[in-house]
Structures are given as structure tokens and as C-alpha cells.
Chains A and B, each alone.
Chain A
Amino acid sequence: MANFEKAKSLGDWMNQRLGLDTVMRVMAYEYWIPKNINFLWAMGMILAMMFGVMLVSGIFLLMYYKPDAALAFDSVNYTIMTEVGYGWLWRHVHGVAASVVFLVIYIHMFTGIYYGSYKKGREMIWITGMLLFVTFSAEAFSGYMLPWGQMSYWAGMVITNLFSFGSLELNGVVEWIRGDYVPGDAFILRFFMLHVLLLPLAIMALIGLHFGALRIPHVNNQDGEEIDFDEAAKLYKEGKKKESKVIPFHPVFLSKDVFVMGVFLIFFFYLVFYHYGFALDPVNFDPADGLKTPAHIYPEWYFLWSYEILRPFSKDIGLIAFGFAQVAFFLLPFLDKSPNAVPASRRGLFNIWFWVMLVDMIVLSVMGKLPPEGAWNVIGLLSALTFIGLWIALPIITKLEKKV
């Protein structure tokens, strides 16, 4: 048994038993982050915070929500929105956060791509990040089912139909997923379970893994400079802060994160109070009706680009293209053959690739929302082909890239 002395304070008492000083040193005071960063490096902490916001608001909603096809709609739109004190606030916060979190995820992803933060030992950071993207997508989709409005019902119908895998017509699989021939009670309850238990557990585990994956390769910096972290840390601890290339996670890195969070939250709460329509689609305020198909069925904005990769093609080819789009981003660290882990602006052709990809995904998103008619169809098809072409071109153009 270890030797315990009479504690001088409560903190000392805890420290002898839990080693808090060591934990704080390893996790915060001597967890080194490069100094040469910009505000885009705060997106990770914003995402962690937003997950917290959704967890807390979700817990409050969970106390009144009823996962039942006959009761769900009114439990959200009447009980929570009208009868529960501040229920409307929790619902708006939860709904808007779910949408805005994807904006931050995309900014975070494109930051990683631009600065090459998936290369040279950082592959696992990228892969765990992509796993988080997939689980967040599943979490968003399952949550979207719960208010049981028209868009919940019909989006549930369309997306579960994908699992018949086109001409394979595996309708048994679709029924197995739905628990019924059409979305109903069984459907809503299993998506409720996924939304409030299984997926949040998976997300929490993956967040831990994602942070853990940062530990050994360290956080990248905005010039792709390779830093000797041990030496830089030594300089910092000696008080040579100007010469050192690193800063401790707490309080220096966090002080900047907290400022960025503050500015972000001004924007976020502006949306919550004054501009929530984009996240709480009006169509979903019509109760689910299996006999009345809405004029336009479209996913939330953050799924539009992959929806548009599915849509312009014939059934089977569309599904293959869709599957390809889901896998392509995972493979980024291995498709990028260049030895350079530097910002895209210094990587020649890859720089063009990056901006074309960004614009192409925005075009896909817009076309994914528009009705599939006339010119929109053509633009949608061309941008879907561009997307696929860009991924095929990536290994080639990065192979040709000269070492900088």
C-alpha cells in the first residue's frame, strides 16, 4: 500500500489519492500545442463544446419526448414547445446546434485537408475524425426521425429504401431495418434508441480516440513545419516563451479557444432566436402522413452533396457512386501520394484540387436541394462526375508533386 500523509488541504487530500497534479500536467499544463496557428485550430474545441450543448439540451428534451408514432409529434410541438417552461428554447438550441455542428465539421475537415493534417503520422487523426463524421451523420438522421413530421417520415422512407441495394431488391433488409413494412412505431422506437443511447456512446468513445490520436503526432501548424516538441517544450519551461515554438494547452491555447467560442456563440444564439428556419424545416411541422408524399423531399443541407451524387444517375450506378462518396474521404491519407505535409497554397496542382473540390461540393449541395429538372439535372450530373473525377485524379496529381 502506498504511503499516505496527513493532508494539508482538501486539494492535497485528493491529490494523494487521485494524482490530480499529474493528470493536469499531462493533459493540460504540459500538453504542447504549436504556437503558429490561427482560429481554425479552435474548431475542434467548438465541436466538443457543441456536443456538450446537444447532450445537455437533449437530456432536457428527453424528459418530455414520447417515442410513439401517435404521440411523438404532439409531445414535441405541443408539450415541449408550449407547456414546458423554456422547452421551446431547448428545442431550438438542439435543432439549430445539430445543423450548425455540421458547418463546423465541414470547416474542420477542410482545414485538415488544406493544411495536410492527415499526413505523416496523422492518418489516425483523420480516420477517427471521419468515423466521427459518420456517427454524427447517423445521429443527425436518427434525431431527424423523432419529431415525426412529414419530412421525418419521408426521409426515413427514402433513406431506409437505399438498403434494398437497387436491383438486388433486398426488401427483406429494408423491412428488417424498419421493423415493419413502412416506418411506424417499431421504426421510431429503434431510431430513438440509436439517437439517445447507442450513437452518443459511440460518439463519446470516438471523441476520446480522436483526441488520443493527436497525442503522439501532435497538432499540426499553419506552415506544416516539423517541430521538435521536446526541445520547444524545454525552452518554454525555461521561460524562453518567445523562442519556443509551442504553448501549453491550458491556459494559453484554451484562452484563444474560449474567445473564438464566445464569438461563435454570438452567431449561434442569433440563429437560435432569429434565424432557425434553415435548421427546423417548415415541412416537418406537418404531421407524418404515409398517404401524402410532400412535393419536394430533400435531406438537411449537410447531406445534400452526397444525395446529389446518388440522384443524377440510374438506380444502381447512383448507389455505387453514393457508396464511393462515403468511402472516398476515409481514404484521403492514402490517396494523397505527395510527401509534402504543407498548406495547399504551396502544393501546386493540389491547391487547385482543393478549391475545385470545395466549390464542387457547394454546387452539389445546391443541386441536391433543387428539383431534379432540366438544367439543374445536367449541372448536378456534371458536378457529381467532377467529384468522382477529382478523387481519381488525386493520386496522380499528388504523385507528380515535387518535394518542397
Chain B
Amino acid sequence: MNKELKILAVVVFFSILTYVGVEPFAHSQMHKHVDDPTYAYADLKDSGKKGDAVKGKELVTGAGACTGCHSLKAESLPAPMDALTSASAYGVNPPDLSNSGALYDEKFLADLIKNPAHALGVEHKFKDGAMHPMVGFYGAGGDIDQEIADMVAYLKSIAPTAENLTPKDAFESACGRCHSMRYDKWSKIGTDPSFKSDKEMYEYKAKVATYDEALKAYMGAMPPDLSIIIRARSHHFLSTFIENPQSQLEGTSMPRVGLTKDGEVKVMEYLTQIGDSSKDKRESLGPWVILFFVIFSVIAYFWKQSMWKDLH
């Protein structure tokens, strides 16, 4: 018995040595180190101004302001152009602003309104006079920082509470205009309908393809489908990449999303729901299967003992 345990120790030692070498160690050398995300957006300054939502509403929904391009479903304001027209004009469909106060960091929103390419971390794409499709807010005549604080306060006032914002909404608002999710029938311009005829299907697919083409031209490459990205990348990679895409992939045209910690948790929850849908079942079945084999082994041990007792 003693000898068997010694042999087992040798086998376990070399197995673990191999495992540590080819898995954790090799991966630590293959991928660059990026610190865990904090979602603090420390590079952005807080103006310290306290916003007034009522004044903000005028600024957001006024003539020539945000709603000139963005829809605001929370206030029943439709987008001036449909997704396809927007994509052909800007490269991508501008997001609806209803959830933005709930999903994005305040400092990030303020910086985004003032200087989009800076907040989004894509200034490297808009050099030499090229303009970011979203025009920065140039002020309505008063203190621009105060006005921006008012706008942010307004966006926060109309945003749903954390309980009312579903993981799917979070994904659609934050990621869904550039990334499809085909395992949940999401195609960047909306959820795929069921088709009554081939004609309907081809027309819809042509729309999606037209949108995709504009998006691809704008981004430089087609942003990947995220259906099972949760299995294809580690949690650490995804969360650091979402916080600051440049940290993992320098020069990428993916913008910084500006999610708060809660917003990131919501998005990850959705990615898990779709990409790793068996997670809950796996975690609830696992202990029972293991318990079964523990009992099996105990019984087998007594059988072995009874078979071998006369042998020595």
C-alpha cells in the first residue's frame, strides 16, 4: 500500500509538472500581461459640475443636438434615418440613447460628448483631417462643461434602473450595432424576423449585407460575431479588452466602450447566456456525477479488499 502511494505520488508529480508547463506557464509567456480592469477611466477628468436634467433635456433633444442623429425611444423620439441610411452616411448606425445613462461611465459620457474620438480611444484612426462621424458638442453659448453635465444628468434621469435593464438590452446598446450574435438571431440592425416567403428573407438578408458592407468599410475589418466569444477568450481578456481595447490589441479600430462595472457585468452575463448556455446545467450536474463515482470507488474498494484478503 505504502509503495503504491509512492508510485502514485511520482505519477501525479510528473503529470502536474507537464500540465503547469504546457498550460499556465506557456500561456503566461504567450500572452502579454494586462492588469485587471478597474473601470475607473482614470485618464478622463471629472469637471466637478453638478448637472440639471431639465436643462439637459433641452440640450439633448433641441434642434441640431443629439436627437438630430440618435433615436431616444424612452421619450418616443425615433431616429431621423433608418439603420441602413445611417450606416451609408456614418459607417455605423448611431445608438439609441435611452440606456446610455445606465450603461456608461459619467466621465466617459462627458468626454464622449465633447470629443468622441478621444473618449472612444480611436484618435489613431482620425488623423490628417479625417473626422469622427459623431461631431463633438461645441457648446450652446454658456459654460460648456456645465452644459455637458446637464446633458449627462438628463441621460441618467431617463435611463432604466439596473433591475430593469436586461443583459440583452445591455448587449444590444453597447455592442450590437457592430457585432452580430447569430446564436441569438441578432444581426446588428435588429433581431431576425421569421419569414413568410423567400422574397422576404432575401430582402432582409440584402439589408443586413448592405449594412455589413458599410460597417466593414468604416471599421477596416468586419467586427466578429460574438455568439461564443465567451468560450473563445478568457474572462480576463474580454473584460480588459472591453475596458480598453488598445490594451490588448494596439491599433484596433474597436472603440473603447466606456461601460461602468455594472454595465460590463450585464454584457458578460448576456455573452455567457448565449455562448455558454450549459453553464448552469454543468454546475448543477457536476457534483452529483462526482459523488456517484466517489460512492462507486468506496464500494469497489471493499470488493477489492474482500477479493484480495486471502492472497497474502
Residue numbers of A with Cβ under 8 A of B are 35, 38-40, 77-78, 81-82, 88-89, 92, 103, 107, 241-242, 247, 251-252, 255-256, 258-259, 261-263, 265-266, 269-270, 272-274, 277-278, 280, 282-283, 285-286, 295-296, 301, 304, 358, 362-363, 365-366, 368-371, 376
Secondary structure call for the A interface? helix
CB-based contact B285/A362 at 8 Å: no
* Given known contacts A82-B183, A88-B282, A255-B303, A282 and B7 CB-to-CB distance under 8 angstroms: no
Q: Please, which residues of chain A bring their CB within 8 A of the CB of B289?
A: 269, 272-273
- Give Cα distance in the complex from A366 to B27, angstroms: 10
Interface size class for chain B?
35 or more
CB-based contact B22/A296 at 8 Å: no
CB-based contact A242/B293 at 8 Å: no
B18 at the interface (CB under 8 A from A): yes
- Give Cα distance in the complex from A97 to B231, angstroms: 19
Q: Identify which of A40, A88, A242 contacts B281 (C-beta below 8 A).
A: A88
Q: Identify which of B228, B278, B311 contacts A241 (C-beta below 8 A).
A: B311
Min CB–CB distance A306 → chain B (angstroms): 14
- Give Cα distance in the complex from A384 to B282, angstroms: 41
Residue numbers of B with Cβ under 8 A of A are 3-4, 7-8, 11, 14-15, 17-19, 21-23, 25-26, 29-30, 183, 224, 227-229, 231-234, 277-278, 281-283, 285-286, 289-290, 293-294, 296-297, 300-301, 303-304, 306-308, 310-312
Min CB–CB distance B151 → chain A (angstroms): 39
- Give Cα distance in the complex from A92 to B283, angstroms: 13
19 additional contacts (CB under 8 A) given A255-B307, A259-B297, A277-B23: A78-B183, A82-B278, A88-B282, A89-B278, A103-B15, A242-B310, A242-B312, A259-B300, A261-B300, A269-B289, A269-B293, A273-B283, A362-B14, A362-B17, A366-B21, A366-B25, A369-B21, A369-B26, A376-B29
CB-based contact B297/A282 at 8 Å: no
Q: Identify which of B229, B294, B297, B304 contacts A256 (C-beta below 8 A).
A: B304
Q: Please, which residues of chain A bring their CB within 8 A of the CB of B21?
A: 362-363, 365-366, 369
Min CB–CB distance A98 → chain B (angstroms): 16
Number of A-B contacts (CB under 8 A): 133
* Given known contacts A82-B277, A259-B301, A370-B30, A282 and B231 CB-to-CB distance under 8 angstroms: yes
CB-based contact A285/B232 at 8 Å: yes
Q: Please, which residues of chain A bring their CB within 8 A of the CB of B232?
A: 282-283, 285-286
Q: Please, which residues of chain B bring their CB within 8 A of the CB of A103?
A: 15
CB-based contact B29/A371 at 8 Å: yes
CB-based contact B18/A301 at 8 Å: yes
Q: Identify which of B11, B183, B304 contacts A258 (C-beta below 8 A).
A: B304
Q: Please, which residues of chain B bring their CB within 8 A of the CB of A265?
A: 293, 296-297
CB-based nearest A residue for B27: A369
Q: Please, which residues of chain A bring their CB within 8 A of the CB of B312?
A: 242
Q: Please, which residues of chain B bring their CB within 8 A of the CB of A252?
A: 307-308, 311
CB-based contact A255/B23 at 8 Å: no
- Give Cα distance in the complex from A370 to B229, angstroms: 24
Q: Can you list 15 A-B pairs, Cβ within 8 angstroms, ordered by A? A: A39-B8, A81-B277, A107-B11, A259-B303, A259-B304, A262-B296, A262-B301, A263-B297, A266-B290, A280-B231, A286-B224, A363-B21, A366-B25, A370-B26, A370-B29
- Give Cα distance in the complex from A39 to B5, angstroms: 9
